[in-house]
Amino acid sequence: MNQNNNSRRKFIGQVSCAALGYTTFRNSMINLQAINALAIANSALDPEYKALVCINLSGGNDSFNMLVPSSNSEYNTYKTTRANLAIPKNELLNLSVLNTPGREFGLHPAMEGLQKIFNQGNAAFISNVGTLLEKTTKDDFYNNKVKLPLGLLSHSDQSQHWQSGIPQSRTNIGWAGRMADLIRDMNTSQEISMNVSLSGSNLLQTGNEVVEYVIDRRNGSIGINGYRPDNMYDQFNIIKSGAIDSLLDYNYRDVFQKTYVDVIRGARDGHLKFKDALDNGVEIKTQFSENEFSESLKMIARTISVHQKLGFKRQIFYINFYGWDHHDEVLQNQQDMLTMVSDGLEEFNNAMIELKLSKQVTTFSISEFGRALPSNGNGTDHAWGGNVFVMGGDVIGSRIFGTYPSLNLDDDLNVYDGVIIPTTSVDQYFGELALWMGVPPSDLSYVLPNLSTFYNINSGKAPLGFLNI
């Protein structure tokens, strides 16, 4: 970063602080409700802000029971193939799909919230997505004529490949981390990472320079225990805080000590800044359910609402929703878990509308693989291609992108008796998200090294077309 940029950002910061002082004085004369209304209204005045929210349905979601063909002939094939796992046709939630003439689709009956958002035009599905090294046919697969992702059908490998975007090898750098390395200078502050995780450390958000900033779904940033107590009579922690400040302010000569203290000091300062922003942020009136998933989305909404205070133009959020490895009792488990997903998505969508940031926040799902089509008794086994959803005001909604495959076990994409070869690569999916976030086409190969195998980066077109870019 050059000196001019540093000077510019310093100037902007100084002007902002001065303005804040005046505004604080002025607003002391009006009530809290008016302050909240003003803050929400002003959030729409930041059109450059964009955020991605990644929801990882970890374990392999049975997504061909999430998005189901409902036209007569295709439903009958689905029912025959899925046997005792087939959802009754009259229970499916109707989707008003705009780009599948002659084909009809329904949504799992637990997902009324997502159905509403989809039919309103603010959500879409991408069908038969998976990790690929090159386009693959059934014949080439069986005759070993194509390169395949490392550890195909393995939880650990496929989870890593979805998060790294490099299915030919194992790596500790994620595609969202590489993207953050490229675009983090869009933000005016680097005190807190633009990659924020509600689920601890993860591969997706880890870059060469950027790592995730882990926060708690209820309390936000995680500070030093007992540091800077709110209670003025908490003498023990007051003394403790003074001792910590003294240690962190000392000028160490040893390189290891200096580096360690710099990291701790940065964490302390970042925590205080994050906490102050949330404590003085707007009240989000949208009600969220009392479960871990919805509470995580609520914290993301609160964090997004104070992005200007934190100095962000770009952010990437991550939630890992565990427990989708349904080798047994898939019907009941999906009923319970997809309800939480759908309700949480509806709540989060309402919160973004409340903040007037719906078009600037895109929520998308990942899952390491789809499930095999036939029942193994009461569940399903590991497979390959699957369906994902994407939601937000900039989504070209009420559509299914990619190609929804035939669920006939004799189909040309069906191998191993119910494992579907993907027809859309994760590279295309993530490449479009990267373009939307502002990654130049010339840099896409850094974020997703295999993308050019499936998409012409010089085409001037989006890889799939599900976002307004």
Count of domains observed in the chain = 1
Task: Answer whether residue 23 is part of any domain.
Answer: no
Across residues 36-40, what is the average pLDDT? 42
Sign (positive or negative) of CA dihedral 356, 361, 367, 369: positive
Task: Tell me whether residue 461 is in a domain.
Answer: no
Parallel, antiparallel or unpaired: strands 93-95 and 361-366:
unpaired
Tell me: the pLDDT tens digits for 224-262? 666 665 667 767 667 666 766 766 676 777 766 666 655
135 CB-near residues (< 8 Å, 6+ apart): 146, 453, 454
At residue 247, the pLDDT reads 66
d(CA 382, CA 389): 20
Q: Please say if the pLDDT value at position 158 is more than 60.
A: yes
| Residue 464 falls inside a structural domain | no
CA distances 75 to 96, 153, 357, 417, Å, are 16, 26, 38, 19
Instruction: Identify whether the C-beta of residue 301 lies closer than 8 Å to the C-beta of residue 294.
Output: no
Q: What pLDDT does 151 receive?
A: 97
Residue 253, token pair as written in the block:
């000569």
According to the model, what pLDDT value does residue 43 have?
44
**Residues 2-26: what's their mean pLDDT?**
36
| Cβ-based neighbours of 83, under 8 Å, separated by 6 or more | 374, 375
**Residue 265: what pLDDT?**
59
Give the tens place of pLDDT for each residue, 411-450: 999 999 999 999 999 999 999 999 999 999 999 999 999 9
In a domain, 36, yes or no: no
Looking at the domain assignment, is residue 32 inside a domain? no
Its sign, for the CA torsion 130, 133, 134, 140, is: negative
Q: Check whether 21 has a pLDDT greater than 90.
A: no
| Within-domain flag for 295 | yes
As a whole number of angstroms, the longest Cα–Cα distance in the chain is 76
Amino acid 337: pLDDT: 98
Is residue 62 within 8 A of residue 326, CB to CB? The reply is yes
- Predicted TM-score (pTM) of the model is 0.87
Worst-scoring range by mean pLDDT, 47-51, 134-138, 411-415?
47-51
Band the pLDDT of 20: cuts 50, 70, 90.
very low
**pLDDT over 70 at 2, yes or no:** no
Burial 180-213 (b: 16+ CB within 10 A, else e): bbbbbeebbebbbbbbbbbbeebbbbbbeebbbb
pLDDT at 242: 72
Residue 8 domain flag: no
Share of the chain above pLDDT 90, in %: 78
C-alpha distances in Å from residue 358, one per residue of 157, 198, 210, 450? 34, 20, 26, 31
- How far is Cα 284 from Cα 302, in angstroms, rounded to an integer? 7
Q: Where are the alpha helices (DSSP H) in 229-310?
A: 235-249, 255-279, 292-305, 307-310
Q: What is the pLDDT of residue 253?
A: 73
Amino acid (1-letter code) at residue 4: N
Spatial separation of the C-alpha atoms in residues 323 and 309, rounded to whole Å: 36
Give the mean pLDDT of 166-187. Answer: 97
With 70 as the cut, is the pLDDT of residue 24 above it?
Answer: no
Q: For the beta carbon of residue 342, count every other beta carbon within 10 angstroms.
A: 23
Domain with 68 in it: 50-453
Q: Are strands 213-216 and 195-197 parallel, antiparallel or unpaired?
A: parallel
| pLDDT confidence of residue 248 | 63
Q: Is residue 195 within 8 Å of residue 176, measured between CB atoms? A: yes
Q: φ, ψ for residue 302 (rounded to 5)?
A: -65, -40
Cβ neighbours, 10 Å, residue 8? 12
Q: What is the pLDDT of residue 145?
A: 97
> In one letter, which amino acid is 6?
N
Average pLDDT in the chain: 88
* Percent over 70 (pLDDT), the chain: 82
Map residue 352 onto helix, strand or coil: helix
Residue 172 lies in a domain: yes
Q: How far apart (Å, rounded) are the C-alpha atoms in residues 203 and 212?
A: 9
Per-residue confidence (pLDDT) for residue 28, from 0 to 100: 36
Which one is predicted more confidently, 257 or 351?
351
Which residue type sits at 365?
Answer: S
Which pLDDT tens digit goes with each residue over 69-92? 999 999 999 999 999 999 999 999
At 284-319, the pLDDT tens digits run 999 999 999 999 999 999 999 999 999 999 999 999
Question: What's the average model confidence in pLDDT over 31-55?
Answer: 62
Give the residue among 358, 369, 368, 366 at the shortest CA–CA distance from 391.
358
| Per-residue tokens: 278 | 């949330």
Give the pLDDT of residue 229.
57
Contact 333, 274 (CB under 8 A): no
Is pLDDT above 90 for 458? Answer: yes
pLDDT of residue 38 exceeding 90, the answer is no
